[in-house]
Structure 1
Amino acid sequence: MTHPVGQHYAGRSAIVTGAGSGIGACLSRALVTAGASVVCADLDGTTAAAVADPIGARAVALDVTDAAAVQALVDEVEPDLLFNNAGITFGGETEDLTLEQWNAIIDVNIRGVVHGVAAAYPLMVERGSGQIVNTASMGGLMAAGLITSYVMTKHAVVGLSLALRSEAAAKGVGVTVVCPSAVDTPILDKGHVGMFHGRDYYLKGQGVRHPLSPEVFADQVLEAVAENRAMLVTPRTARIAWRLGRYFPGFIQRSSVRFVAEQRKWQEARALATR
């Protein structure tokens, strides 16, 4: 590793969005352990405080869909590192998604990241230093049915991150996008539409017997950022699947069609069993 993790983060300031639970909470704890000064930002200020208070971080209630609020926080903190981590998900048949749900996921997962970039990137360019870290997903690298809106938003985050990195490199600013497969966080149990069941989809359906620990993932993210890597794809099985998809897209697409058919059978069986 080019920079030891502790040396890279010691004394640096960081904002983490979506810090009230899951990946954001673990990133916040890992950053504090590494010596950073952390602002835990979350839509729910109470959950942000529950994460921040025990580790000596600062908690802020922040709606990432509010561009002015994001700008104000960035202007105040002038962070060395910005982790655009806040996100939501919806899973189910695409025809069952409402326009309100489409707009909600676009607002949080895409515009929320854009608001962070628009606020922090010019500041970092002017300063000649800083790093932006965007949380995407394997869903941003490979397409899977029944999480269509989520896949759309995460593809956008990957594209934004890689394009921005090519500009930022000459200006002293690092950009990293992180693409995990299933991480064991509350998001697996949220955003269900119709008969969709997140844990079956990600764990049973995709063969991820053991979802990635958010603590382990947070450590991997900090290492990737310290190395100024363009992308983190994890775990190893996810990297293999991604490479297969690049070399054999037809095979992956056929597998995806079969996967959706199997999911529908499991959903119907579960619905019958719970009647």
Structure 2
Amino acid sequence: MTFAGKQAIVTGAGSGIGAALCRALAAAGAEVLCTDVDAAAAEATARGIDARAAHLDVTDAAAVQGAVDDVVACAGRLDLMFNNAGISWGGDTELLTLDQWNAIIDINIRGVVHGVAAAYPQMIRQGGGHIVNTASMAGLTAAGLVTSYVMTKHAVVGLSQALRSEAAAHGVGVLAVCPGAVETPILDKGAIGGFVGRNYYLGARGMAKAYDADRLAQDTLRAVERNKAILVRPRSAHGAWLFARLAPGLMGRMATRFVAQQRAGQQTGAVGADSG
């Protein structure tokens, strides 16, 4: 795939990975609709790349369908659907309220489902396209204190892999993006209790610093060009994924030890970045 003239929608485009994807797509010549629940943030992203912006709450299936219909009405097709919007909660699972469980399910799982339900039939009708779902290394491995996030990202990976096996017959590609810690606002949001997200996510992936969002966006476009099934970045995250597949029992014990270290650090106010 080349991106010049392609029609793309990016959800969660107001910041982080979403904004970086919009910049990379525009630089590659795509026509981008930047969407976000924060309309002002989406507009700021769009202004920087001379693109269109729209308010979009991905939990509203009709609104997601409307965004797809709008692009198709204007351009005649939709080539790329980036289901990127997401949130995270971090802290002991027993502290999560049902409202918080429902919020992360609605955004991280149903938001992706709504994007697929709106875009995939259109791509079948036109004979091609590509769906890109932002998951996480949390969708390939698992450790506590981000249990609800892990659950949702495993769902996104499973959806992506299963859909890919169907979509190939229609000329539609599906990619699950599974990065380690990326330098985005999500690292510093969603804390419950004494949870320190930045330290947790970096420590869980053995990373000295978070991966650059613009670099991940470029990696993502290359993965789309090559029709890859899963993208894992950076190299340390790829190593952790391989280790988890080869030695799941040992990985589980290391995850238990890592969670204990994080809890101890929260209690002392000195959470470290031990890998595990």
The alignment's TM-score, normalised by the length of structure 1, stands at 0.95
1:116-195 matched pairs, under 5 angstroms: 116-195=115-194
1:193-232 matched pairs, under 5 angstroms: 193-204=192-203, 206-232=205-231
Residue 55 of structure 2 aligns with an amino acid whose one-letter code is A
Which has the higher mean CA deviation after the structures are superposed, 57-66 or 195-204? 195-204
Asked if structure 2 preserves the Cα contact closer than 8 Å seen for 1:165 and 1:174, the reply is yes
Residue ranges of structure 1 left out of the alignment (5+ in a row): none
The Cα shift of 1:204 comes to 4.0
Aligned to 2:268: 269
Does residue 32 of the first structure (1) align with residue 26 of the second (2)?
yes
1:40 counterpart SS class: strand
Aligned length: 266
The alignment's TM-score, normalised by the length of structure 2, stands at 0.95
Counterpart CA distance in 2 for 1:51 and 1:223 is 22
Counterpart CA distance in 2 for 1:52 and 1:11 is 17
Counterpart CA distance in 2 for 1:225 and 1:167 is 17
Counterpart CA distance in 1 for 2:225 and 2:88 is 28
Residue 117 of structure 2 aligns with an amino acid whose one-letter code is A
Query: Can you list the C-alpha shifts for 1:137-158, whole angstroms capped at 9, x where unaligned?
Result: 0000001100000000000000
Counterpart CA distance in 1 for 2:184 and 2:16 is 5
Residue 251 of structure 2 aligns with an amino acid whose one-letter code is I
The Cα shift of 1:18 comes to 0.1
Counterpart CA distance in 1 for 2:133 and 2:205 is 24
1:9 counterpart SS class: coil
Counterpart CA distance in 2 for 1:175 and 1:148 is 25
Residue 210 of structure 1 aligns with an amino acid whose one-letter code is K
Counterpart CA distance in 2 for 1:224 and 1:132 is 12
Counterpart CA distance in 1 for 2:210 and 2:38 is 25
Asked if structure 1 preserves the Cα contact closer than 8 Å seen for 2:179 and 2:231, the reply is yes
Query: Can you list the C-alpha shifts for 1:166-210, whole angstroms capped at 9, x where unaligned?
Result: 000011101011000000111000000011010111124543102
Aligned to 1:233: 232
Counterpart CA distance in 1 for 2:52 and 2:250 is 48
Aligned to 2:44: 50
Counterpart CA distance in 1 for 2:218 and 2:101 is 32
Residue 81 of structure 1 aligns with an amino acid whose one-letter code is L
Counterpart CA distance in 1 for 2:20 and 2:66 is 24
Counterpart CA distance in 2 for 1:188 and 1:91 is 10
Counterpart CA distance in 2 for 1:189 and 1:225 is 29
The Cα shift of 1:271 comes to 8.2
Asked if structure 2 preserves the Cα contact closer than 8 Å seen for 1:158 and 1:177, the reply is yes
Asked if structure 2 preserves the Cα contact closer than 8 Å seen for 1:141 and 1:242, the reply is yes
Residue from 53, 60, 67 that aligns with 1:66: 60
Aligned to 1:107: 106
2:265 counterpart SS class: helix
Counterpart CA distance in 2 for 1:264 and 1:145 is 11
Does residue 9 of the first structure (1) align with residue 8 of the second (2)?
no
Cα 1:76–1:144 shift into 2, 3 Å: same
Q: State, as a whole percentage, how many aligned pairs show the same letter.
A: 63
1:35 counterpart SS class: coil
Residue ranges of structure 2 left out of the alignment (5+ in a row): 73-77, 272-276
Asked if structure 1 preserves the Cα contact closer than 8 Å seen for 2:9 and 2:35, the reply is yes
Residue 115 of structure 1 aligns with an amino acid whose one-letter code is H
